[in-house]
Every structure is written in structure tokens, then in C-alpha cells.
Amino acid sequence: MAAETLFRRITDYANRADPYPFYAELREHGVARQDNGSYLVGTYHEIAALLHDPRISSDRRKRTVPDDAIIEAPGIPVAFIGLDDPEHERLRNIAMRSFGPPHSASRIDAMHDEITAIATELIDALQGRDRIDLVDDFAYPLPVTVICRLLGVPRQDESRFRAWSEAVIAGVDPTPDSDPAERRRAAVAARMAMGRYLSELADNRRGKSSDDMLSAFVNDPGPDGAFTRPELTSTAVLLLIAGHETTVNLIANGMLTFLRHPEAMKLLRRAPELMPRAVEELLRYEPPVQMLPQRTALTDVEVAGVTVPKGAPLILVLASGSRDPRRFHDPDRFDPTRRDNQHFGFGSGVHICFGAPLARIEAQIALTELTRRLEDPRLLQDPPPYRRSPILRGPRHLPLEIAGIRA
């Protein structure tokens, strides 16, 4: 079939449950130019090279073609995920100071017990039920509670920022089910509302000592200096959305995959020490971030024999690269014991996921507790209904029948 329409077919909601045959077709084409002038890349080695190539920008404003997904909200500059070095590096370093090594090396490990307690509480609350929705009852509330604690955002405001986060994501969805102008207006309004909300919270922390990240941002500037107020706002918005929209899909895709592979589920119940490796395999086999839609060539760049012209959008289909048979043995097989597994689940290069250590332990704890405690779980709908986005892909709901809850 025509390579020029592959992106339309990949992003078509009708194909959300199984986009993998289209990725196989994409890999056969190498690089596929789309009829809107963008270039799709789906092979492992090409994606890896592009993610480490300084001629490839993460800044959509560098494009020479019209771009519907640039959402510019007054007072909220582009966050560091959409910037290039050195600006990207400066802002990422300031944010990292209160999140990970070297300055906050034990932050994530220290959350282990807290995450286990949150998972335990959510599962305890399922006692007496024979039907559950794994998304609403567990996979969504767990990471949201964790990111709220980490940032210092009151959990009870969740319904407000859930709506904002959904509107921002809908603003960059390449398969709109509503008028694009209206979606953009809603996304800008949501970004501004979220920004106002988070910067007011941060202002209230000034001069008060507390161990959350918003407090650290305003009270503990490091050697790279402090964020300006607009930088703080856009970073906080980025972290809240990233913490909201991704780990939920890893947990839900994880349970769905385990239930489709009962022998894997049995193995993991017997040998929970294999869970870290199983989570890496899930990040390869059913990744929550399927593609990176925001790269742009800063100059003419040759990719697999095709010249991608300066200013052209590049769409890197990570989920396709992670199933490339030229890189992975038997790539369409889910193998929770796989060893050679340098997947693209968290990207690669300078923008590699900031939250990866947190997402990893959240998913490991969540899936360990679920496999251990849910008695005889069965899928009620396969495939389940999916969320709209082809970029952040995962079930909207995951209805299960269970025989009970183990202690």
C-alpha cells in the first residue's frame, strides 16, 4: 500500500488496538515521506542515530511547514522537552537537582515504601468486588497520587488538572475528532489554567521548607541558577502532564499483556524478582509512548538513502524501532525474561525520559502487587476500548472479572 498514507493509517483510531502490522510495513519502506511533507522513520538503527544527531531539533518552531500542534500560551514558554541544547540542558539540570542524582540521589528510592502503600490501599479497596476497571480503579490513581506527592500538588484538585491535562494532550492529537481551531483554543486555555494554578502553588511555598519539588524549585537554586517564573511554570506543567499521561498506560498495557500471556503471569507470580526485566520487555513490546512527533531536521539530512530536507518534520516511531527484527530476536514475541533489551520505551539521547527511574519503580511495584493479589483475573473485553491518542497509547478502560483479593 502507499507509503504516503501510512501515518494516516497508523493514527486512525480504528487501528489503535493493533498498530503493529503498519509498523512492519513502515520498516519495509525505510523512511516514508507522507503527503503532508513529514517523514516517518520506523527502523531501530535509523531512529537511534537520529536521536543522537545534533542536526535534529526537538523545537517544532524550527519547521518550515505549517504545524497545527504548536500550542503557545502567553506567559508559559515552551518546556525543555521542546527545546534544544544549551537551553534544554540548563533547564533539565535545574529540574533534575530536586529529582535525581547527584544532588537528590535517593529521592526516588525513598519513595519505594510510599508507592507500595498507595498500591496496597488501592487494591484493598477492591475487596468484595467481582468486576473492576483496572484503569479507573488502579492504573490511573496510582501515578497521579505519586506525582502529586512528588511535586507538592494537593491530590484533591485532581479532577481539575485531569481535565486540563486531557485538553493539552487532545491539542497535539494528530487524529482530531473535533474542530482543530477549537481544540487549540481549549489546549491553550488549559495550559494557561494549569500554569496559573501551579505557579500560585509554587509562590505559596516561597520561604517555607518542605520536601516537594515545587518548594525546591523556589527555595533551593543550584549552580545553574533558579528558574524564572515562566520557566518554573512550564516545567511544572510538563512534569504534571508527563507524570499523568504515561505511567497509567504502562501499568494498563502491562496487565493486558500479562492476561494475554497466562504463562508469563504465572511465572511472574512465582518469581517476582523477574518483574524489573518484565517491565523492560513491556516498554519494548507495548510502549506507552509510541512515537515522537516533534523532531525537525535543521539541515538536509540523509536517512536510509532518503534526503530529509531542512525544516521537514520527522516522526520517529519508537514502538516500531523496538520491534525491528534487525535489532531484536523474535521481536513480536512477549518474553518477560528477555536480556538483550535496549528498547526505546524512554527514548534515547539528550531528551531521554527524565522520569524513567520513577516510572520504572512505579510499574514494578504496581504489577508485582497486582499479579500477587488479584485472584484469577480475567479480561472482560479484548481488545479493550483505547484512549484516543496514537502517541500516548493505552486502554481507556480495562474491565476485569476477579475471584477475589489475596491478603
Nearer to ligand HEM, 153 or 182 (CB): 153
* Entry field: residues in the chain: 407
Question: Judged by CB under 6 A, does residue 100 bind ligand HEM?
Answer: no
Q: Does the footprint of ligand HEM cover residue 165 (CB under 6 A)?
A: no
Query: 381 and 83 in contact (C-beta within 8 Å)?
Result: no
Stretch that binds ligand HEM, among 162-170, 181-189, 225-233, 348-356 (CB under 6 A): 348-356
Per-residue DSSP letter, 404: E
* In the complex, minimum distance from the CB of residue 247 to ligand HEM, in angstroms, rounded to a whole number: 4
Residue 123 and residue 372 in contact, taking contact as beta carbons nearer than 8 Å: no
d(CA 83, CA 69): 15
Burial environment of residue 83 by CB neighbours within 10 A (0 to 12, 13 to 18, 19 or more): buried
| 47 binds ligand HEM, rule: CB under 6 A | no
Dist. CA 355–CA 249, nearest whole Å: 14
The one among 76, 81, 153, 275 contacting ligand HEM by CB under 6 A: 81
Separation of CA 212 from chain center: 22
57 binds ligand HEM (CB under 6 A): no
Q: Point out which span in 112-120, 155-163, 241-249, 256-264 binds ligand HEM (CB under 6 A).
A: 241-249
Q: 158-171 and 141-151 helices cross at what angle (nearest 10)? A: 100
Q: Is 242 in the site for ligand HEM (CB under 6 A)?
A: yes
Q: How far is the CB of 88 from ligand HEM (least distance, A)?
A: 6
Number of residues forming the site for ligand HEM (CB under 6 A): 23
Q: Which is nearer to ligand HEM, 3 or 226 (CB)?
A: 226
274-313 binders of ligand HEM (CB under 6 A)? 288-289, 292
CA angle 329, 333, 334 (to 5 degrees): 115
**Which residue(s) pair with 301 in the sheet?**
308
Q: Is residue 161 part of the contact set for ligand HEM (CB under 6 A)?
A: no
Which three three-digit cell numbers place residue 199?
Answer: 505557579
Question: Pick from 118, 353, 366, 367: which binds ligand HEM (CB under 6 A)?
Answer: 353
Q: Which residues bind ligand HEM (CB under 6 A)?
A: 58, 80-81, 92, 238-239, 242-243, 246-247, 250, 288-289, 292, 345-347, 351, 353-355, 358-359
